[in-house]
Amino acid sequence: EAGVAQSPRYKIIEKRQSVAFWCNPISGHATLYWYQQILGQGPKLLIQFQNNGVVDDSQLPKDRFSAERLKGVDSTLKIQPAKLEDSAVYLCASSLIRTGQETQYFGPGTRLLVL
């Protein structure tokens, strides 16, 4: 079974530029999560989708971050404009369903450096 795919793996941009990350979850997984992991910290949940609907985005900085999952499969996370403090690894995860006990399967992450 293929795992969660993410691209690109690495991205370097200058502040005030925009950037987009792509995630393809495990086939059949209805729930998709985006996390931000700053160096030395644990992952922080930004947004979670159930199929193509947003379940929770309370920790997403909506003035600069946006995410979509149009057909309930792939998802993109965008930052516009980027700030220095956005330098982090962006992780995508998926789970079969959302029960509160579900196992989440993580992708390899996209490492973003904002200069």
Q: Specify the amino acid at residue 110.
A: T
Q: Is 53 in the site for another protein (CB under 8 A)?
A: no
Q: Is 91 in the site for another protein (CB under 8 A)?
A: yes
In the complex, the smallest distance separating the C-beta of residue 61 from another protein, rounded to whole angstroms, is: 17
The token duo for 5 is 């795919």
Q: What is the CA radius of gyration of the chain?
A: 13
> How many CB atoms are closer than 10 A to CB 91?
24
In the complex, the smallest distance separating the C-beta of residue 107 from another protein, rounded to whole angstroms, is: 6
Q: Is 22 in the site for another protein (CB under 8 A)?
A: no
Q: Is 56 in the site for another protein (CB under 8 A)?
A: yes
